[in-house]
Amino acid sequence: MTPASPNDGYLLDNAQPEAGTRFDALSELFDPSTRRHIEDLGVAPGWRCWEVGAGGPSVVTWLAGRVGPTGRVLATDIDTSWAAEAAGGVVEVLRHDVGEDEPPERGGFDLVHARLVLVHVADRERALRAMTDSLRPGGWLLVEDADPAAQPLICLDEHGPEQVLANKLRSGFRSLLASRGADLAYGRKLPRLLREAGLTGVHADAYFPITAPACDVLEAATVRQVRDGLVAAGLATDEEIDRHLANVGSGRLDLATSPMISAWGRRP
């Protein structure tokens, strides 16, 4: 996906060693919801689908199975190093920056989907326009993005020092994201933005786990990935980070995710 601040780079760079762990945890947490939404849109054999900022291979692999040999799945990202895992070569992979590059195709896709992408993109308006322009008449756009500002805590039940520390580090993480240009309230805007883009039948819902083993895995990998940034910015000390990682590893924390807002609409 496109970094929001090219000078500083994408905070959760896909090339970092923790990225694969994060992909797996995000898949476990959110793939069931994503698949439900796509199934409700009627995905069927022969559909042509574009997965924007695909990251890990789980969604595109599943999509390839749904559209079959008569369909097409195009997966794009600015880092396609994961591509060898995608559906044994069935998925078409293209290096593409949705915030800067022209759409790979105009007017030909039955489904365009992006998850946890646009919140990080510098030119979100251009990216959304590229996605809508690529739809065929009657095609569906499904955008799923986080809204950290809607629920800023990682421990909703802040009943002790371990939870207070977890929420301190989550606040620091949000500060780092904002400093790279991420829109922490983007998810809530999606229904309006899809209507303004000319889509019809717009609907939206929200989902966020409040405790699950994958939440612990995701948090540990994320904190390790942004550790240097937290310390350099004075948002946490190495001792606090080590203590928090130990707390996460103990399994005693009920860790939540940011709400995932899913919004979908159809090109007339």
Return the pLDDT at 90: 78
Q: Please, what is the average pLDDT of the chain? A: 91
Instruction: Indicate whether 7 pLDDT > 90.
Output: no
Q: Sort 32 into a burial class: Cβ within 10 Å, 0-12 / 13-18 / 19+.
A: exposed
Query: Where do the structural domains in the chain lie, given as residue ranges?
Result: 19-151+182-209+258-266
Instruction: Indicate whether 100 pLDDT > 60.
Output: yes
The average pLDDT across 222-247 equals 97
Return the pLDDT at 84: 60
Return the pLDDT at 131: 97
Over residues 39-92, the pLDDT tens digits come to 999 999 999 999 999 878 899 999 999 999 999 999 999 888 776 666 556 789
* Of 64, 61, 1, residue with least CA distance to 31: 61
Lowest mean pLDDT among 3-7, 16-20, 27-31, 101-105: 3-7
Q: Which CATH class is domain 19-151+182-209+258-266?
A: alpha beta
Distance CA 134, CA 250 (A): 47
The average pLDDT across 181-193 equals 95
